[in-house]
Amino acid sequence: MISAAKATLTDPSALTVCTSLPYAPFEVDDGSGKIVGFDIDFMDWMAKDLGVTTKISVQQFVAIKSGTATKTKKCDISAAAMTITAERMASITFSNPYYDASQALMVLSSSSAKSLADLKGKKLGAQTGTTGLAYAQKYAEQYGYTVLEYAQISDEEVALQASKIDAAIHDQPALNEYSKQQAGKVKIVDNFNTGEEYGFGVALGNTALATVANYVIAKSKADGTYLASYKKWIGGTPPTK
């Protein structure tokens, strides 16, 4: 398993990981230039099992979710809080799911909006290429709001603070993290149980590396390192199915 996976590495001495920043608590610069987070813990565990180092390659999320980043060998694996979808599976081989996700709606603390239904005639921000954008677009006509796209979640958050949009939709843990950092300025008002699951992505057909990712996910859940990382970065305990 290990030798077959190592033979696929772009750099024989490293596991090259594509990610998109900032996306706390999954991947974020710790202030010293080092990229850390829940996703990165898994990549470090994989690299250790492969006997190599971890090398981070920061890419736009659209290149990651389309499979372009791994197909063009910008990296060996993508770790970017990426939801597994049928569309993405056409160009990416995914690991087993490692995180259950949902969407959340965030507004300014002064806003009276509590749901999508309160956004009639208003503007809702979402990140390009995300499942949050797809969810926002799905209900735009029904609730009468306009969807504005942003390249990065940070752009979306800045737009909300500047009142260029009336609300922002994104994965719940990312907005929860931001709302903690900006306490008193923004608030989460609604959550949408979309049944999403995150997976790590490798080049289509690279089952050797995907197998190592699956092994690391299973091992971390069995030996307690998954729980420790979850508590550190996300807080609490993972929901049970």
Q: Do 161 and 87 share a structural domain?
A: no
Inside any domain, residue 46: yes
Q: Based on the structure, what is the number of domains in the chain?
A: 2
Q: What is the band of 129 on the pLDDT scale with cuts at 50, 70, 90? A: confident
Q: Do 114 and 33 share a structural domain?
A: no
* Contacts of 3-7 spanning 24+ positions with Cβ under 8 A: 4/208, 4/211, 5/50, 5/208, 5/209, 5/211, 5/212, 6/50, 6/51, 6/52, 7/208
Q: Do 44 and 16 share a structural domain?
A: yes
Q: Do 147 and 62 share a structural domain?
A: no
Query: What DSSP state is assigned to residue 84?
Result: P
Inside any domain, residue 240: no
Strand order in the sheet with 53-58: 53-58, 14-19, 77-78, 201-203, 92-94
The amino acid occupying position 146 is T
Per-residue pLDDT at 236: 84
Q: Do 94 and 75 share a structural domain?
A: yes
Inside any domain, residue 52: yes
**CATH classification at residue 54:** 3.40.190.10
Interval 75-124: pLDDT, tens: 999 999 999 999 999 999 999 999 999 999 999 999 999 999 999 999 99
Q: What is the residue range of 220's domain?
A: 2-98+199-233
- Residue appearing with tokens 């969810």: 135
8 A C-beta contact, residue 73 and residue 141? no
Q: Do 153 and 213 share a structural domain?
A: no
Interval 145-170: pLDDT, tens: 999 999 989 999 999 999 999 999 99
Q: Do 145 and 222 share a structural domain?
A: no
Spatial distance between the Cα atoms of 84 and 65, rounded to a whole number of angstroms = 9
Q: Do 190 and 173 share a structural domain?
A: yes
Q: Do 186 and 117 share a structural domain?
A: yes
Among 128, 69, 106, 123, CA closest to 181: 106
* pTM for the full predicted model: 0.84
Q: Do 185 and 66 share a structural domain?
A: no
Interval 178-199: pLDDT, tens: 999 999 999 999 999 888 999 9
* Contacts of 128-134 spanning 24+ positions with Cβ under 8 A: 128/61, 128/62, 129/61, 129/62, 129/65, 129/66, 130/61, 130/65, 130/83, 130/170, 130/171, 131/83, 131/85, 131/103, 131/171, 131/194, 131/196, 132/103, 132/169, 132/170, 132/171, 133/169
